[in-house]
Structure 1
Amino acid sequence: MTITYEWRGDVDNTALNELHAEGFGGPVQRTDWRTRLQRHSLGWVVARDGRRPVGFVNVAWDGGVHAFLLDTVVARDARTHGVGAALVERATEGCRAAGCEWLHVDFEPHLRAFYFGACGFRETAAGLIAL
């Protein structure tokens, strides 16, 4: 498996919707990722094995110094090969190059070791309102 990573890489809506369905469970959606990313994101990273996307992370931002990781996903057959950590590393580099000072992430408890260990995030106090 030879994985390549691309900041703000070309996105195929169908392939990305299939990757999200596999990674997060549920049916394949018909999200227009290209439009969403261009409109709302500082950047994103696509990991590919050949032409097939095997990983993705979206970086939303406030237009200033705060960026936010969203939608981190890795295909089942690409997990445990460092793809997720490499996605986050490249996203961090893209944020730094854009002048951001902070990169935030929210995650479920089972991902704690990944974000704090493999990716270098530190624990902070935060709040959440379920809408």
Structure 2
Amino acid sequence: MTIAYGWRAGFGSDALDALHAAGFDRPPEGIDWLARVERHSLGWVCARLRERLVGFVNVAWDGGAHAFILDTVVAPDVRGRGVGTGLVRVATDGARAAGCRWLHVDYEAGLAGFYQKACGFTPTAAGLVAL
């Protein structure tokens, strides 16, 4: 299985909405993902198996030293094959090339092994307010 990764790669909003729906086990929401990332993000990474979008990660930022991993998703049928790790690696490289000094990620406890062991993140204290 050869996966092609692309920093700021083109994608269709419908394809990403379908990937998010499958990846997060919810119905499609009709989000214009392309407009969203173009407006708010430093970059994003698309993973493709042939022409099919099988992975995505968004890299938001503060316009300076801090970038943030959001919306990491891998198609259920290709999980466990390194696609997520590849997405985060390319996102890390993109943020570094843009001059960011820190890459942050929030994750649920069940994803600690992925983000800490597979991707090299160090756990930190953080806060959250539900809005």
TM class, shorter-chain normalised? over 0.9
Residue identity in the other structure for 2:10:
D
Take 1:54 and 1:26, find their aligned partners in 2: how far apart are those partners? 16
Take 2:90 and 2:130, find their aligned partners in 1: how far apart are those partners? 30
What secondary structure does 1:125 align onto? Answer: coil
Residue in 2 aligned with 1:125? 125
TM-score by length of 2: 0.98
Q: CA deviation at 1:81?
A: 0.5
Q: CA deviation at 1:17?
A: 0.4
Residue in 2 aligned with 1:51? 51
Q: CA deviation at 1:39?
A: 0.4
Q: Which runs of 5+ in 2 are unaligned?
A: none
Q: Superposed, which structure 2 residues align to 1:1-131 within 5 Å? A: 1-131=1-131
Take 1:47 and 1:83, find their aligned partners in 2: how far apart are those partners? 7
Q: CA deviation at 1:75?
A: 0.4
Q: Which runs of 5+ in 1 are unaligned?
A: none
Take 1:15 and 1:29, find their aligned partners in 2: how far apart are those partners? 12
Q: CA deviation at 1:29?
A: 1.3
1:24-66 residue CA offsets vs partner (Å, 9 max, x unmatched): 1110111111111110000000000011000000000000000
Take 1:26 and 1:69, find their aligned partners in 2: how far apart are those partners? 21
Runs of 4+ in 1 over 3 A off after TM superposition: none
What secondary structure does 2:127 align onto? Answer: coil
Take 1:59 and 1:25, find their aligned partners in 2: how far apart are those partners? 22
Take 1:116 and 1:43, find their aligned partners in 2: how far apart are those partners? 22
Q: Give RMSD over aligned pairs.
A: 0.6
Residue identity in the other structure for 1:96:
R
Residue identity in the other structure for 1:100:
C
Aligned length: 131
Q: CA deviation at 1:67?
A: 0.3
What secondary structure does 1:69 align onto? Answer: strand
What secondary structure does 1:63 align onto? Answer: coil
Residue identity in the other structure for 1:86:
G
Q: CA deviation at 1:6?
A: 0.1
1:73-105 residue CA offsets vs partner (Å, 9 max, x unmatched): 000111111000010000000000000000000
TM-score by length of 1: 0.98
Take 1:14 and 1:7, find their aligned partners in 2: how far apart are those partners? 19
